[in-house]
Amino acid sequence: MEDIPVPQVPNPTPVEAPVIATAQSSAPAPVVPMLCPQCHFVVKPEYYYCPNCGKSLHEAPLSTSIMTQAWIYGFSIVLPIICYLAVSYWPGIKYLLSEDENAKQIGIVACILLAVSSIITFWLAIVWIQQAVQSGVSSVGNLGGY
């Protein structure tokens, strides 16, 4: 048997379909309504709380105003002095773990202030206790001089 030559067809180059601009392509995508997970009330995506039932929809951003910073920094300094009695109200960790870079910086400064204030408070407490013990020992020693 003879081999019959098979004609070679060159590979066709792919042709891209022309892009046709339509009115739909320039229009924004339709907004899917968001529902409250608790009461199924239709809410806007920018809402932090459901206006119907008050359920938290997502976390509101942390405040980074000057007054908030002053409050957090002051509280960080005073917290060791009040023996950490209000530690559950200290927002430093929440700010430190935030995604917002400004809030994260506030958390870092608050943690540093808390650490420095704790060291100073403990050092002052040790010095005060040593002075109290020394004055007590010296007053007991003076009683024998009668």
User: Tens of pLDDT along 82-130?
Assistant: 888 888 889 999 999 998 999 999 999 999 999 999 999 999 999 999 9
Domain boundaries, the chain: 30-60, 66-139
| Mean pLDDT confidence for 36-46 | 87
Q: How many CA within 13 A on the CB side of residue 121?
A: 15
Q: Could you tell me how far CA 8 lies from the centroid of its own chain?
A: 66
**Predicted TM-score (pTM) of this structure:** 0.58
On average, the pLDDT of the chain sits at 81
Label residue 53 left, alpha or beta by phi (over 0 means left) and psi (-120 to 50 means alpha). Answer: alpha
pLDDT above 80 for 137: yes
